[in-house]
Amino acid sequence: MYELIKITEQSYYIDCPVKIGIYDTGDGVYLIDAGGDKDAGRRVRKILDEHGWKLLGILVTHSNADHIGGCQYLQKQTGCRVFAPGVEAQFTRTPLLEPSFLYGAYPPKPLRHKFLMAQSCDCEDVTSPQFPGEVRVLPLPGHFFDQVGYLLPDGTAFIADCVSSPETLEKYGFPFIYDVQAYLDTLDGLASIPAQYFVPAHAPAAEDIAPLARINRERIERLGELVLRLCVEPRGFEDMLKLAFDHFGLELNFQQYALVGSTLRSFLAWHLDAGRVSAEFIENRLLWRAV
């Protein structure tokens, strides 16, 4: 765990629960994401110190806590800049937004922990003049609001959470998705990225990303079909969420209620916008029905 893997003379990644990229400019390095917590930050700094690397900045792909949890520690220790795209920059500055968004209100204590709420840090947008201009920002929306990847000058692409390994897909049932159609569009466009090497955060690095993108797309399509089957009879959200967990043999807890519940609502919104389901208020209950 936390093994440094060299890709090219400029590109590395740290093999850990959420892969952390390293871009060596020759005058210092940029991280791509920073791990899930302060401990991850300490481990990363140890690797940087061992190689004599000066940390210039952190390029955030998106603001989920498992990607930005080490930012505050590393920024305080090194004075490095942190860059993030669009809404992700605001979430990085104000991490309470993540559990608030997932819960749909002020989150209770079971959701205010490091897995959903990182520590805040100063953060600039990727449009800042201080952002390394030779790095190409790759819009990869769908998983989260303004998620991006980063294409380095040597052709290495760090592509965040737009794909997961088959094992991860099986373990969690529903991968977290904010915008289903945008997610599918991102999957369809991955193979067109002019990269020599792809590094996803939650799947093995690969020279050809197309096979994994197809596996993820097929999974999303099957989940979409499952949600439609749950709507064959008029059902409320809570009933559908229970049936979805029963289907995958999973046990519901507060965190999964927030994460999978948010994803289920995203699937329902996708189906509703496409005219595949209707939403009706009956006796003061919102019921979803396949049409």
24-58 tens-digit pLDDT: 999 999 999 999 999 999 999 999 999 999 999 99
pLDDT at 243 over 90: yes
Q: 54-81, pLDDT tens digit by residue?
A: 999 999 999 999 999 999 999 999 999 9
- Name the residue ranges covered by the structural domains of the chain: 3-221, 222-290
* Matching fold, domains 3-221 and 222-290: no
- Given the candidates 1.10.10, 1.20.120, 1.20.950, 1.10.3470, the CATH classification of the domain at 222-290 is 1.10.10
- Mean pLDDT of the 109-136 span: 98
Q: 247-267, pLDDT tens digit by residue?
A: 999 999 999 999 999 999 999
pLDDT band at 164 (very low <50, low <70, confident <90, very high): very high
> What number does CATH give the domain 3-221?
3.60.15.10
Give the span between the Cα atoms of 242 and 224, in whole angstroms: 16
DSSP string, the chain: --EEEE-SSSEEEEESSS-EEEEE-SS-EEEE---SSHHHHHHHHHHHHHTT--EEEEE-S---HHHHTTHHHHHHHH--EEEE-THHHHHHH-TTHHHHHHHTSSPPGGG-STTT-------EETTSTTS-TTSEEEE-TTSSTT-EEEE-TTSEEEEEEEEE-HHHHHHHSS---S-HHHHHHHHHHGGGS--SEEEEEES--BS--HHHHHHHHHHHHHHHHHHHHHTSS-B-HHHHHHHHHHHHT----HHHHHHHHHHHHHHHHHHHHTTSEEEEEETTEEEEEE-
The pLDDT assigned to 246 comes to 97
Residue-averaged pLDDT of the chain: 97
pLDDT at 1 over 90: no
pLDDT band at 133 (very low <50, low <70, confident <90, very high): very high
Give the span between the Cα atoms of 41 and 35, in whole angstroms: 7
Q: 184-221, pLDDT tens digit by residue?
A: 999 999 999 999 999 999 999 999 999 999 999 999 99
- Mean pLDDT of the 129-151 span: 98
% of the chain beyond a pLDDT of 90: 99
Burial code (b: 16+ CB inside 10 Å, e: under 16) for 184-207 equals bebbeebeebebebbbbbbbebee
